[in-house]
Amino acid sequence: MLIDGYENDALVAAEELLVLPGFWAAYLLWMCQTEENDPDPLWFGADEADTDAAHEALTDEERWPVFRIPFADNHSVVIVGRNFTDDLGTEYFVSHPEWDRHGYLATIDGHQAGPGLSWQELTHIAGTPDPEVPGIHAPHARLLLLLPALGDRNLPTDAVTLIGDALVQAGIDQDTAPVLADALLRDHPLWEPAEWALPSPSPLSGTQQHFPGILHCDETGSPRCGIRLARGITREQSDRLARALGTWPTP
Protein backbone atom coordinates (compact mmCIF):
# COMPACT_ATOMS: atom_id res chain seq x y z
CA MET A 1 0.00 0.00 0.00
CA LEU A 2 1.28 3.49 -0.92
CA ILE A 3 0.20 6.65 0.93
CA ASP A 4 1.72 10.09 0.43
CA GLY A 5 4.16 10.80 3.23
CA TYR A 6 4.68 7.12 3.99
CA GLU A 7 6.39 6.04 0.78
CA ASN A 8 9.27 4.33 2.59
CA ASP A 9 7.15 2.60 5.21
CA ALA A 10 5.78 -0.95 5.18
CA LEU A 11 2.07 -0.12 5.04
CA VAL A 12 -0.52 -2.86 4.70
CA ALA A 13 -4.31 -2.72 4.53
CA ALA A 14 -5.38 -4.08 7.90
CA GLU A 15 -9.15 -4.38 7.75
CA GLU A 16 -8.89 -8.13 8.34
CA LEU A 17 -7.46 -7.50 11.82
CA LEU A 18 -10.91 -6.53 13.07
CA VAL A 19 -11.91 -10.20 13.18
CA LEU A 20 -9.15 -11.08 15.67
CA PRO A 21 -10.71 -12.09 19.02
CA GLY A 22 -8.62 -9.58 20.94
CA PHE A 23 -8.73 -6.70 18.44
CA TRP A 24 -11.04 -4.28 20.24
CA ALA A 25 -9.35 -4.90 23.58
CA ALA A 26 -5.93 -4.20 22.00
CA TYR A 27 -7.22 -1.12 20.18
CA LEU A 28 -9.35 0.53 22.88
CA LEU A 29 -8.29 -0.83 26.28
CA TRP A 30 -5.85 2.02 26.96
CA MET A 31 -8.72 4.52 26.82
CA CYS A 32 -10.29 2.93 29.92
CA GLN A 33 -7.26 3.54 32.15
CA THR A 34 -8.01 5.56 35.28
CA GLU A 35 -6.29 6.17 38.60
CA GLU A 36 -8.79 3.82 40.23
CA ASN A 37 -8.98 1.06 37.63
CA ASP A 38 -6.56 -0.92 35.54
CA PRO A 39 -8.38 -2.01 32.37
CA ASP A 40 -8.95 -5.71 31.82
CA PRO A 41 -9.24 -7.43 28.41
CA LEU A 42 -12.16 -9.40 29.87
CA TRP A 43 -14.21 -6.21 29.64
CA PHE A 44 -14.05 -6.73 25.87
CA GLY A 45 -14.69 -10.47 26.16
CA ALA A 46 -11.06 -11.29 25.31
CA ASP A 47 -8.35 -13.09 27.22
CA GLU A 48 -4.79 -11.86 27.60
CA ALA A 49 -3.41 -14.20 24.94
CA ASP A 50 -5.86 -12.99 22.29
CA THR A 51 -5.27 -9.38 23.27
CA ASP A 52 -1.50 -9.81 23.12
CA ALA A 53 -1.77 -11.40 19.66
CA ALA A 54 -3.86 -8.51 18.37
CA HIS A 55 -1.50 -5.99 19.95
CA GLU A 56 1.45 -7.63 18.21
CA ALA A 57 -0.36 -7.31 14.87
CA LEU A 58 -1.18 -3.66 15.53
CA THR A 59 2.43 -2.84 16.46
CA ASP A 60 4.27 -4.95 13.88
CA GLU A 61 7.35 -3.01 12.75
CA GLU A 62 7.43 -4.91 9.44
CA ARG A 63 3.74 -4.43 8.60
CA TRP A 64 2.30 -1.06 9.58
CA PRO A 65 -1.51 -1.47 9.72
CA VAL A 66 -3.71 0.94 7.80
CA PHE A 67 -7.45 1.23 8.38
CA ARG A 68 -9.43 3.04 5.68
CA ILE A 69 -12.78 4.63 6.50
CA PRO A 70 -14.29 6.00 3.27
CA PHE A 71 -17.11 8.49 3.62
CA ALA A 72 -19.05 10.89 1.45
CA ASP A 73 -17.79 12.37 -1.83
CA ASN A 74 -14.68 10.16 -2.03
CA HIS A 75 -13.18 11.38 1.26
CA SER A 76 -11.54 8.93 3.66
CA VAL A 77 -10.27 8.93 7.19
CA VAL A 78 -7.07 6.89 7.22
CA ILE A 79 -5.65 5.46 10.45
CA VAL A 80 -1.99 4.47 10.29
CA GLY A 81 -0.13 2.49 12.92
CA ARG A 82 3.23 4.27 12.88
CA ASN A 83 5.38 1.42 14.16
CA PHE A 84 8.89 2.80 14.46
CA THR A 85 11.12 0.86 16.84
CA ASP A 86 10.72 2.40 20.31
CA ASP A 87 8.40 5.07 18.90
CA LEU A 88 4.97 3.57 18.37
CA GLY A 89 2.11 5.84 17.49
CA THR A 90 -1.16 6.14 15.62
CA GLU A 91 -1.95 8.84 13.07
CA TYR A 92 -5.47 9.87 12.09
CA PHE A 93 -5.88 11.94 8.94
CA VAL A 94 -8.42 12.75 6.27
CA SER A 95 -7.63 12.42 2.59
CA HIS A 96 -9.11 12.91 -0.87
CA PRO A 97 -7.69 11.89 -4.25
CA GLU A 98 -7.72 15.51 -5.46
CA TRP A 99 -5.69 16.89 -2.54
CA ASP A 100 -1.94 17.37 -2.61
CA ARG A 101 -1.55 16.49 1.06
CA HIS A 102 -3.55 15.04 3.91
CA GLY A 103 -5.47 16.91 6.56
CA TYR A 104 -4.33 15.82 10.01
CA LEU A 105 -6.84 14.98 12.71
CA ALA A 106 -4.91 13.54 15.64
CA THR A 107 -1.75 11.77 16.75
CA ILE A 108 -1.61 9.26 19.58
CA ASP A 109 1.89 8.73 20.95
CA GLY A 110 4.24 10.25 23.50
CA HIS A 111 3.82 13.65 21.84
CA GLN A 112 0.10 13.46 21.27
CA ALA A 113 -1.94 15.97 19.30
CA GLY A 114 -5.68 16.13 19.64
CA PRO A 115 -8.57 15.99 19.80
CA GLY A 116 -9.23 15.56 16.11
CA LEU A 117 -12.99 15.03 15.81
CA SER A 118 -16.14 16.46 17.29
CA TRP A 119 -19.00 14.15 18.18
CA GLN A 120 -21.00 15.52 15.26
CA GLU A 121 -18.22 14.68 12.81
CA LEU A 122 -17.49 11.30 14.38
CA THR A 123 -21.04 10.05 14.12
CA HIS A 124 -21.60 11.56 10.68
CA ILE A 125 -18.50 9.91 9.22
CA ALA A 126 -19.36 6.60 10.88
CA GLY A 127 -22.85 6.67 9.43
CA THR A 128 -22.00 7.66 5.85
CA PRO A 129 -19.86 4.85 4.41
CA ASP A 130 -18.97 4.87 0.71
CA PRO A 131 -19.35 1.25 -0.45
CA GLU A 132 -17.61 2.02 -3.75
CA VAL A 133 -14.28 2.69 -2.00
CA PRO A 134 -12.26 -0.09 -0.31
CA GLY A 135 -12.13 0.02 3.45
CA ILE A 136 -14.32 -0.50 6.50
CA HIS A 137 -18.01 0.06 5.88
CA ALA A 138 -19.79 -1.28 8.98
CA PRO A 139 -20.95 1.82 10.92
CA HIS A 140 -20.30 0.30 14.36
CA ALA A 141 -16.70 -0.58 13.47
CA ARG A 142 -16.12 2.85 11.94
CA LEU A 143 -17.45 4.52 15.09
CA LEU A 144 -15.19 2.51 17.39
CA LEU A 145 -12.10 2.95 15.21
CA LEU A 146 -12.55 6.73 15.20
CA LEU A 147 -13.35 6.97 18.91
CA PRO A 148 -9.75 7.61 20.11
CA ALA A 149 -9.67 10.84 18.06
CA LEU A 150 -12.80 12.20 19.76
CA GLY A 151 -12.73 15.06 22.24
CA ASP A 152 -15.98 16.95 22.68
CA ARG A 153 -17.23 18.72 25.78
CA ASN A 154 -20.83 18.66 24.57
CA LEU A 155 -21.71 15.00 24.13
CA PRO A 156 -25.42 14.27 23.64
CA THR A 157 -27.37 12.36 26.27
CA ASP A 158 -27.50 9.26 24.08
CA ALA A 159 -23.74 9.09 23.44
CA VAL A 160 -23.18 6.21 25.87
CA THR A 161 -26.11 4.32 24.35
CA LEU A 162 -24.75 4.75 20.83
CA ILE A 163 -21.25 3.59 21.77
CA GLY A 164 -22.73 0.76 23.81
CA ASP A 165 -24.77 -0.42 20.82
CA ALA A 166 -21.63 -0.33 18.66
CA LEU A 167 -19.78 -2.43 21.22
CA VAL A 168 -22.56 -5.01 21.26
CA GLN A 169 -22.39 -5.23 17.46
CA ALA A 170 -18.64 -5.75 17.84
CA GLY A 171 -19.30 -8.76 20.04
CA ILE A 172 -19.18 -7.25 23.54
CA ASP A 173 -21.62 -8.67 26.08
CA GLN A 174 -24.74 -6.51 26.20
CA ASP A 175 -24.60 -6.27 29.99
CA THR A 176 -20.98 -5.08 29.93
CA ALA A 177 -21.28 -2.74 26.93
CA PRO A 178 -23.00 0.24 28.66
CA VAL A 179 -20.42 0.32 31.48
CA LEU A 180 -17.58 0.00 29.00
CA ALA A 181 -19.06 2.72 26.77
CA ASP A 182 -19.24 5.07 29.76
CA ALA A 183 -15.59 4.33 30.58
CA LEU A 184 -14.52 5.01 26.99
CA LEU A 185 -16.30 8.36 26.91
CA ARG A 186 -15.71 9.63 30.45
CA ASP A 187 -12.09 10.86 30.44
CA HIS A 188 -9.72 10.71 27.50
CA PRO A 189 -6.25 9.75 28.77
CA LEU A 190 -4.41 12.14 26.44
CA TRP A 191 -6.44 15.33 26.12
CA GLU A 192 -9.29 17.34 27.53
CA PRO A 193 -12.68 17.53 25.81
CA ALA A 194 -12.95 20.54 23.54
CA GLU A 195 -15.46 23.08 22.36
CA TRP A 196 -16.13 22.95 18.63
CA ALA A 197 -17.59 25.81 16.60
CA LEU A 198 -17.59 27.32 13.15
CA PRO A 199 -15.03 30.17 12.94
CA SER A 200 -16.29 33.73 13.07
CA PRO A 201 -15.70 35.61 9.78
CA SER A 202 -13.53 38.47 11.05
CA PRO A 203 -10.56 39.82 9.04
CA LEU A 204 -8.85 40.63 12.34
CA SER A 205 -9.09 37.11 13.78
CA GLY A 206 -6.96 35.28 11.28
CA THR A 207 -9.90 33.42 9.75
CA GLN A 208 -8.25 33.65 6.34
CA GLN A 209 -6.87 30.32 7.55
CA HIS A 210 -10.38 28.88 7.50
CA PHE A 211 -13.13 28.40 4.97
CA PRO A 212 -16.73 28.40 6.22
CA GLY A 213 -18.22 25.13 7.32
CA ILE A 214 -15.18 23.46 8.91
CA LEU A 215 -15.36 23.25 12.70
CA HIS A 216 -12.62 24.83 14.79
CA CYS A 217 -11.32 23.25 18.02
CA ASP A 218 -10.50 25.42 21.03
CA GLU A 219 -7.86 23.04 22.47
CA THR A 220 -4.40 24.40 21.64
CA GLY A 221 -2.93 20.90 21.45
CA SER A 222 -5.21 19.92 18.60
CA PRO A 223 -4.10 19.96 14.95
CA ARG A 224 -7.46 21.61 14.31
CA CYS A 225 -6.86 24.66 16.46
CA GLY A 226 -6.07 27.79 14.48
CA ILE A 227 -5.43 26.20 11.06
CA ARG A 228 -7.44 24.62 8.31
CA LEU A 229 -8.23 20.95 8.58
CA ALA A 230 -6.66 20.47 5.15
CA ARG A 231 -4.16 23.03 3.89
CA GLY A 232 -3.76 23.84 0.23
CA ILE A 233 -7.28 22.88 -0.81
CA THR A 234 -9.55 25.21 -2.74
CA ARG A 235 -12.72 26.83 -1.44
CA GLU A 236 -14.78 24.38 -3.51
CA GLN A 237 -12.86 21.41 -2.08
CA SER A 238 -13.32 22.78 1.44
CA ASP A 239 -17.06 23.14 0.92
CA ARG A 240 -17.24 19.55 -0.27
CA LEU A 241 -15.29 18.41 2.79
CA ALA A 242 -17.57 20.38 5.13
CA ARG A 243 -20.66 18.79 3.58
CA ALA A 244 -19.05 15.35 3.83
CA LEU A 245 -18.35 16.00 7.52
CA GLY A 246 -21.96 17.02 8.08
CA THR A 247 -21.08 20.51 9.30
CA TRP A 248 -22.16 22.53 6.27
CA PRO A 249 -25.52 22.46 4.47
CA THR A 250 -25.82 20.78 1.11
CA PRO A 251 -26.39 23.18 -1.80
| pLDDT category of residue 1 using cuts at 50, 70 and 90 | low
pLDDT for position 208: 45
Asked whether residue 183 carries a pLDDT value surpassing 60, the answer given is yes
Structure confidence by residue, pLDDT tens digits, 88-116: 999 999 999 999 889 999 999 988 999 99
What is residue 44's DSSP assignment? G
Q: What is the DSSP string of 78-118?
A: EEEEEEETTEEEEEEEEE-TT-SSPEEEEEESTT-B---B-
pTM (predicted TM-score): 0.93
Structure confidence by residue, pLDDT tens digits, 138-157: 999 999 999 999 999 999 99
- Domain ranges for the chain, please list them: 11-245
- Pick the closest to residue 100 from 6, 5, 12 (CA basis): 5
| pLDDT category of residue 206 using cuts at 50, 70 and 90 | very low
Q: For 179, what's the count of Cα atoms within 13 Å in the CB-facing half-sphere?
A: 10
Ramachandran quadrant class, 39 (left: phi over 0; alpha: psi -120 to 50; beta: rest): beta
Q: Residue 60: enclosing H or E segment and its boundaries?
A: none
Instruction: Give the separation between CA 148 and CA 125, rounded to whole angstroms.
Output: 14
Which range (24-28, 151-155, 232-236) has the least confidence?
232-236
In this prediction, what percent of the chain has a pLDDT beyond 90? 77
| pLDDT category of residue 205 using cuts at 50, 70 and 90 | very low
